[in-house]
Amino acid sequence: MHKETLEDIGEKELINRLGKFMPKNPVLDDCALIKTKNKNLLVNTDSLVENIHFNNLIISPKDLGWKAVVSNISDLLSSGSKKTIGITISLMLPPKTEWLWVEELYKGINKALRKYGGIILGGDCSKGNQKAISITAFGIQGQLHLRRNASKPGEIILTTGIHGLSKLGFMAQSKVNFENNVSLNQRLISKSIKHFCRPKVDPNFLNNLLKTRSNRRLRRIGCTDSSDGLFQALQDLAIASKCKAIIDYEQIPKDKNWPKGDKWDEYYFFGGEDYKLVFSLPKKWAKNLSTLDKNINEIGYFTNGEPLVEFKDKNKSQLLKNAPFKHF
């Protein structure tokens, strides 16, 4: 008799089932929360595995170290962390790994920590068949609680930047042959490789949110990061907040040289690893924020209805049906 494997059930169902073992179902959010008397700590774990998330041909160990830190800090920010305390690093490495590789990885890790704050608190290192880097990051919860389940019908949906670039950078580094009829701009390729190898987050985001808040009683904001792609982020918000996301395709910010076509729309919505924030605000707050920070764009709104993602222009709906099923 065939026994059910992780491949059979898929990633989302696995996450659902694991959630049942946890008293507060923290898998529904980007970070776990540890409550102490004065401060609440945010904790996040993120892993990068060789030949799944990276390989030596497409990213240097120094860039990989940077990226491993940034992917964790992105999750902390998306929960409203006002300060990164530090990280612990759990490494799995084959014995044939060169010391130089490990040294470069740590240089990249420390470079990102110098940029965004925090120190290496500790960690461990084990033998294994393939390389894996698991980082647990600790931050201090700021006064705004950013959570996946805090979006409300009527709120404007915003993002902190352009999507799809990291996916294009990954394909360029992997020497993927693009369709002949697309002539890719060299500036766009270089920019995309930079986005893939050295993603950035915006630590001023929280301050700008606070600056533009009109009502001090507003403390809970619907937010997540787009590490698994813009579509996934929108869907996660919709499901956790139990409302429908309506996206205006025309409002979505793209690089000026981003090619047109269904394939490129797919890279844009499903690419992942862009580490932008996807969130929703009451109209006035959204207006104030996007006026203050020119990188922030309104891309749609939440409304009452089924917890899913739709386009305002029904002609674009086909696109979302191409959403790739997440095999484990």
Smallest gap from residue 223 Cβ to its own copies (A): 17
Smallest gap from residue 51 Cβ to its own copies (A): 8
Nearer to its own copies, 151 or 227 (CB): 227
Q: Which of 148, 151, 78, 147 is nearest to 305 (CA)?
A: 151
Q: Which of 301, 287, 2, 323 is nearest to 154 (CA)?
A: 301
140 C-beta neighbours (distance < 10 Å), count: 16
The CA radius of gyration of the chain, in Å to the nearest whole number, is 20
The set of residues, in sequence order, having a beta carbon less than 8 Å from that of 8 and lying 6+ positions away, is: none
Are the C-beta atoms of 136 and 178 separated by less than 8 Å? no
For residues 2-25, one letter each, b for 16 or more C-beta atoms within 10 angstroms of the residue's C-beta and e for the rest, the string is eeeeeeeeeeeeeeeeeeeeeeee
Nearer to its own copies, 6 or 308 (CB): 6
Nearer to its own copies, 134 or 151 (CB): 134
Smallest gap from residue 269 Cβ to its own copies (A): 22
Smallest gap from residue 284 Cβ to its own copies (A): 34
Smallest gap from residue 131 Cβ to its own copies (A): 10
Nearer to its own copies, 123 or 153 (CB): 123
Q: Which of 76, 91, 48 is nearest to 137 (CA)?
A: 76
Nearer to its own copies, 90 or 208 (CB): 90
Are the C-beta atoms of 152 and 223 separated by less than 8 Å? no
Are the C-beta atoms of 237 and 247 separated by less than 8 Å? no
Q: What is the dihedral of CA 82, 88, 94, 100, to 10 degrees?
A: 70
Residue type, 83: K
Q: Token digits for 109?
A: 């890790």
Distance CA 227, CA 238 (A): 16
Nearer to its own copies, 3 or 260 (CB): 3
Smallest gap from residue 303 Cβ to its own copies (A): 30
Nearer to its own copies, 1 or 176 (CB): 1
